[in-house]
Amino acid sequence: MNILLWHVHGSWTTAFVQGKHRYLVPVNDARDAWGRGRAETYDWPPSVEERPLAEIRDVDVAIVQRPQELDLVPPHVPVIYVEHNTPKGDVPNTRHPMADRDDLIVAHVTHFNELFWDTGGTRTTVIEHGIVEPGARWTGEQERLAIVTNEPVRRGRVTGTDLFGRFAAVAPLDVFGMGVAGLHGGRITAYDDPPQRAMHEMLAHRRAYLHLCRWTSLGLSLIEAMQMGMPVLGLATTEAVAAVPPDAGVLATRVDTLVEAAQWLLDEPAAAARLGARARQVAVARYGLDRFLADWDRLLLEETCVSR
């Protein structure tokens, strides 16, 4: 199939474009939010072609991720709206922008998101994440804790930024992602937007992975850390409670419990290795790329057949 999609979510798209299709990604001179084109910090195959939107033809299906994209999709092309995020506003009564439509389907990335968004009569489905496996590379010899997050200074409590200092008191804290350069603290080191491969190499040496998001969809970086074999310490919120079983990490809503668990993993590297091995086993089985692509192929075929 020829699939039109905008480069919105780099990590998710990296997995999606590993399929057997041709992926047409809009690009403009500014390479802004409406024309980023091919990724520069992720490995995308040659089947991803960047073109000005006006030159994109012969589209079989469009993957839409923002409401404004709907007006840019060629007429009569079937649309699948991918919802990456948890609802905002009056949760759990937040109406989805695609609510009560009969001309598309909303594909959520977690069951938690499908549960909390009010989509009215619009058809919905869930295709859980899948990732390009980073491999079992965790060593954990550095007594440091790692976080991968985007815009923690701007997003604040959403990403749990206010909690960083409590963990930095236990061990040095390394924070990777976009918009992390503004973080401050004597025991906090920021790595602003490193290439994915380099980030994985650095993560592998840290003792444990912290997932401190209060209200967010399941982060792909959490799944990547688990598939690498990292033990997880995280808030028991949103989809994390389904992704991290008790023998793969420690989840809690009491922050002191997680701080104590961080100290435990620093003192007991064998325990960290045991949790990490289980985390990898679980994440590879549940969030494998083959299952993800097969689920998407099924949905793509169904939606294009319905349209025809």
Q: Are residues 45 and 86 in the same domain?
A: yes
Q: Are residues 276 and 170 in the same domain?
A: yes
Q: Are residues 146 and 278 in the same domain?
A: yes
Block residue for tokens 């091995």: 277
47-97: pLDDT as tens digits: 999 999 999 999 999 999 999 999 999 999 999 999 999 999 899 999 999
Q: Are residues 91 and 7 in the same domain?
A: yes
| Alpha helix segments (H runs only) across 138-195 | 152-155, 164-168
Q: Are residues 161 and 256 in the same domain?
A: yes
CA distance 216 to 277: 25
Please give the sequence-ordered ranges of beta strands (E in DSSP) within 186-282, or none if there are none: 188-192, 206-211, 232-235, 249-252
Question: Is 137 domain-assigned?
Answer: no
CA distance 12 to 103: 24
Q: Are residues 196 and 67 in the same domain?
A: no
The whole-number pLDDT of residue 42 equals 85
Q: Are residues 116 and 189 in the same domain?
A: no
Question: Is 36 domain-assigned?
Answer: yes
177-199: pLDDT as tens digits: 999 988 877 899 999 989 888 99
The whole-number pLDDT of residue 308 equals 61
Q: Kindly list the distances between the CA atom of residue 138 and the CA atoms of 131, 183, 229, in Å, as whole numbers in the listed order.
A: 17, 26, 5
Contacts (Cβ under 8 Å, ≥6 apart) of 226: 209, 232, 243, 244, 248, 279, 280, 282, 283
The whole-number pLDDT of residue 86 equals 95
Average pLDDT over residues 92-121: 97
How much is the mean pLDDT over the chain? 95
268-280: pLDDT as tens digits: 999 999 999 999 9
Task: Give the domain range for residue 32.
Answer: 2-130+289-307
Block residue for tokens 């200074």: 153
The whole-number pLDDT of residue 307 equals 67
Question: Is 102 domain-assigned?
Answer: yes
Q: Indicate which CATH number applies to the domain containing 164.
A: 3.40.50.2000
Q: Are residues 282 and 146 in the same domain?
A: yes
Burial 158-192 (b: 16+ CB within 10 A, else e): bbbbebbebbbebbbbbbbbebbeebeeebbebbe
Q: Are residues 298 and 258 in the same domain?
A: no
Q: How many structural domains comprise the chain?
A: 2
What are residue 24's DSSP bridge partners? 4, 49
Q: Which of the two residues, 43 and 276, has the higher pLDDT score? A: 276
Q: Are residues 77 and 119 in the same domain?
A: yes
CA distance 163 to 188: 12
> What confidence tier does 103 reach under pLDDT thresholds 50, 70, 90?
very high
Q: How many residues does the chain have?
A: 308
Question: Is 136 domain-assigned?
Answer: no
Q: Are residues 160 and 112 in the same domain?
A: no
The whole-number pLDDT of residue 43 equals 87
Average pLDDT over residues 255-264: 98
> Is residue 147 predicted with pLDDT exceeding 70?
yes
243 with 128: CB under 8 angstroms? no
What are residue 208's DSSP bridge partners? 145
Q: Are residues 115 and 208 in the same domain?
A: no
Q: Kindly list the distances between the CA atom of residue 41 and the CA atoms of 10, 193, 201, 210, 290, in Å, as whole numbers in the listed order.
A: 9, 9, 14, 23, 23
CA distance 17 to 179: 25
> What confidence tier does 116 reach under pLDDT thresholds 50, 70, 90?
very high
Contacts (Cβ under 8 Å, ≥6 apart) of 200: 134, 137, 224, 228
The whole-number pLDDT of residue 302 equals 95
217-244: pLDDT as tens digits: 998 999 999 999 999 999 999 999 999 9
Average pLDDT over residues 231-259: 97
> What confidence tier does 41 reach under pLDDT thresholds 50, 70, 90?
confident
Question: Is 135 domain-assigned?
Answer: no
Average pLDDT over residues 10-26: 96
